[in-house]
Amino acid sequence: MLKLSLIAGSLVALLHSQPAAPPAQACSLLTAQEVASVIGAASPLGVTNAGTGSTCMFQNGDKVITVLTNRLSSADAAKGQFDAKKRVSAGKDVAGWPTPAYVGVFDSPKDRVAIVGLVSSLTFVEVKAIDKTQTAADLSTKLQAAMKALSGRLAAQK
């Protein structure tokens, strides 16, 4: 019994001595104000976090924003990711942004979804907003405003 207690105590000490994982980059791409402008105040929840990318979710009741970011190995790979995700979201190119970007909208009686993707250097980012209380057009307009600001920040980092 004493050995079991010592082992358990050692495991607890070991677990507490491990450094915490760094926060998911996807959770810090949009500001709290940008998230709130789309779906209202929401806290981030890191879903996945790896050296090459991460995902994050913001939720306010039934309203959700998901953020996906990938750091790719080459400009060609980043462009390929951008093009593939644009096709999947039925996205259309957006002109006049600091980085290449696309916008996709899904509007059905059940769901209203806006998607914006962009690529800057080796980084691909896609953000999806779901909110059935807003029109798809309004949701898309709000998400585009937030993402255009992110596009500017990413372009400035080059």
Residue spans per domain, the chain:
23-156
The count of other CB atoms within 10 Å of the CB of residue 100 is 18
Reading the chain (158 residues) residue by residue, the pLDDT tens digits are 444 443 444 444 444 444 445 567 899 999 999 999 999 999 898 888 888 899 999 999 999 999 999 999 999 999 999 999 999 999 999 999 999 999 999 998 888 999 999 999 999 999 999 999 999 999 999 999 999 999 999 999 87
Domain 23-156 coded CATH 3.40.1000 = yes
Contacts 24+ apart (CB under 8 A), 44-49: 48/24, 49/21, 49/22, 49/23, 49/24, 49/25
Q: What is the pLDDT of residue 23?
A: 64
Q: For 62-81, write each residue's pLDDT tens digit.
A: 999 999 999 999 999 999 99
Q: Which is it for the CA torsion 115, 120, 156, 25, positive or negative?
A: positive
Alpha helix positions (H), 18-135: 32-39, 75-88
| Per-residue pLDDT at 6 | 39
